[in-house]
Amino acid sequence: MNDKITSSYKASKNIYDSILTQSSLFGKLYIKTFWHGVDDNRIAAELLRYIPDRFSGRLLDVPVGTGVFTCEKYKRMTKADIICLDYSEDMLEQAKARFAKNGIDNVTFLRGDVGALPFEDCAFDTVLSMNGFHAFPDKDKAFSEITRVLRPGGRLAACFYIRGRSAVTDALVKNVLARKGWFTPPFDTSGELMKRLERAYEVTNWHIRGSMVYFRAVKKQEKR
């Protein structure tokens, strides 16, 4: 399964940014036709607002991808200790090159699996997960690992695809994106996701645009 992720993100590494940011005509048409024009640039910008520029704790960004949406933000977050993890070496290499070119020197890069994070419990103040959960092969493990490494009171900021909002988008995801390996089923509906989150988090911000959800949630204190 994970080899499929490696090969699919290797194959798309040169077109990923232009499609997601709609800087190519194909990207614009793709987003308009299959995602009802829901703009990833805007969702990313709104999600990143949940993390203050002056943030000075430890932040885990999983998956970092190519860093196309986070680079400008990280340029401003000079006091943060940022760890960026991704399963795809090809995506990581692009993020490394992009951040280096932009003079960002407070980021550590790691190749790894979100389902087996190489960190101690409660090691992070914030976890950012942008466009990751629809790609992660084991959602249960991804959620439990992210929750484990986040300290109580720490924040999870995330955005990703949810099933059941649009027949057109659901058909694209099922018949193309999942077959190609960019997305991996099963996918939560908004109700399933909320139930999953509420077990460990207090959801403080919650927005759905088209088939995309973005939210901020605070990890509950452990019960004694």
- Which positions lie near ligand SAM, rule CB under 6 A? 5, 9, 20, 62-65, 68-69, 86-88, 91, 113-115, 130-132, 135-137
How far apart CA 25 and CA 142 sit, in angstroms, is: 34
- For ligand SAM, the closer of residues 4 and 220 by Cβ is 4
Q: What is the enclosing helix (H) or strand (E) of 83?
A: strand 81-86
For residue 70, give the DSSP letter: T
How far apart CA 2 and CA 8 sit, in angstroms, is: 10
- For ligand SAM, the closer of residues 60 and 62 by Cβ is 62
For residue 7 the two structure tokens come to 């090969």
Instruction: Note whether 47 and 130 are within 8 A (CB).
Output: yes
Query: Whole-number minimum distance, CB 137 to ligand SAM, in Å?
Result: 6
- For ligand SAM, the closer of residues 131 and 211 by Cβ is 131
How far apart CA 13 and CA 107 sit, in angstroms, is: 21
- For ligand SAM, the closer of residues 79 and 180 by Cβ is 180
Query: Whole-number minimum distance, CB 171 to ligand SAM, in Å?
Result: 19
Phi, psi of 219 (to 5 degrees): -70, 130
Query: Whole-number minimum distance, CB 71 to ligand SAM, in Å?
Result: 10
Query: Whole-number minimum distance, CB 176 to ligand SAM, in Å?
Result: 14
- For ligand SAM, the closer of residues 132 and 210 by Cβ is 132
- Residue of closest CB approach to ligand SAM: 65
Sheet containing 107-111: order of strands: 107-111, 81-86, 58-61, 124-130, 150-161, 212-219, 201-209
How far apart CA 85 and CA 186 sit, in angstroms, is: 22
- For ligand SAM, the closer of residues 112 and 220 by Cβ is 112
Query: Whole-number minimum distance, CB 204 to ligand SAM, in Å?
Result: 21
Query: Whole-number minimum distance, CB 160 to ligand SAM, in Å?
Result: 9
How far apart CA 33 and CA 178 sit, in angstroms, is: 18
